[in-house]
Amino acid sequence: MADLAKEKVSIIISKGSLEGVYPGLIMANGARAEGITVNLFFTFFGMDAIVKKTMEHIKVATVGNPGMHIPSIIGILPGMSGLATHMMKKQMEELDIPTIPEFVEMIHDTGAGLYACRASVDMFKLKKEDFCDQVQDIITVGQFYEMAQGGHIVFT
């Protein structure tokens, strides 16, 4: 891999489900392990992964999720999301995959930058104190692009 390609990656996390949050966290962790500079930009429902009151309660999306391999009508049944979430979290625990709060802390501790999207923060009427301590700042899309310049942008 060329040196330029290994320098920087900026990852956008926009979905607030387990299968929407974990890919970005896993990619960020892997990039930091390779010595790549990482910035995580949380926007829209992806911010649930860094909001104190929601980060431990993220569930699997069972409706409209073709990866579930079940009809959406079954996915809407009461308790299906909770059951799917329980099963996935159990499997992840067996594989020693960190919880979202543990992953966020671990990635932050490796030197990655974690940022919330200003427009989404304003739209959802959030404040800096609503976020976990690992969030460095609330930034605009323009600031994100400045930060990402010269590297790769990955949208999960």
Reply yes or no on whether the pLDDT at 1 is more than 60. no
* Residues 105 and 94 placed together within one structural domain of the fold: no
Q: Alpha carbon of 124 to those of 40, 46, 127: distances in Å?
A: 19, 12, 9
The answer to whether 67 touches 75, Cβ cutoff 8 Å, is no
Q: Please, what is the angle between helix 80-94 and helix 18-33, to 10°?
A: 20
**Lowest mean pLDDT across 67-71, 78-82, 97-101:** 67-71
> Residue 86 has what pLDDT?
81
Q: Please, what is the angle between helix 18-33 and helix 100-109, to 10°?
A: 30
Q: What is the pLDDT of residues 37-58, one digit of tens each?
A: 999 999 999 999 999 999 999 9
Closest CA to 94 of 86, 82, 102: 86
Q: What is the pLDDT of residues 14-26, one digit of tens each?
A: 999 999 999 999 9
* Residues 105 and 136 placed together within one structural domain of the fold: yes
137/67 Cα distance (integer angstroms): 33
Domain containing 16: what range? 4-56+101-155
> Residue 30 has what pLDDT?
96
The answer to whether 46 touches 22, Cβ cutoff 8 Å, is no
Q: Which pTM value belongs to this model?
A: 0.88
Give the CATH number of the domain where residue 107 resides: 3.40.1260.10
* Residues 35 and 111 placed together within one structural domain of the fold: yes
The answer to whether 156 touches 14, Cβ cutoff 8 Å, is yes
Q: What is the pLDDT of residues 94-143, one digit of tens each?
A: 999 999 999 999 999 999 999 999 999 999 999 999 999 999 999 999 99
* Residues 86 and 50 placed together within one structural domain of the fold: no
> Residue 16 has what pLDDT?
94
Lookup: tokens for 17: 């489900």
> Residue 6 has what pLDDT?
63
**Total of domains in the chain:** 2
* Residues 106 and 151 placed together within one structural domain of the fold: yes
Mean pLDDT of the chain: 91
* Residues 52 and 107 placed together within one structural domain of the fold: yes
